[in-house]
Amino acid sequence: MKTLKTLTILVLAFCATPVFAADPPSVVGRLNHISGPVSFAPADANND
């Protein structure tokens, strides 16, 4: 039974590796403290 549990953990860890090895996004942002209205728009949106 212990072998089955160990094998299951190893298989799950092996399957999750590609998720953690993926490249980070090319654009990231960070918000600290904001007051007032906030909106989100795509990067190619006009500033009209």
> Over the stretch 15-35, which tens digit does the pLDDT of each residue have?
766 666 666 667 777 777 768
pLDDT at 48 (0 to 100):
64
Max intra-chain CA distance, the chain: 65
Rounded percentage of the chain residues whose pLDDT exceeds 90: 0
Q: Name 27's Cβ contacts closer than 8 Å, sequence gap at least 6.
A: 43
CA dist 36 and 44 (Å) reads 23
Q: Is the predicted pLDDT of residue 3 greater than 70, yes or no?
A: yes
Name the band, by pLDDT with cuts 50, 70 and 90, for residue 36: confident
CA dist 9 and 14 (Å) reads 9
**How much is the average pLDDT of 1-16?**
82
E strand residue ranges, the chain: none
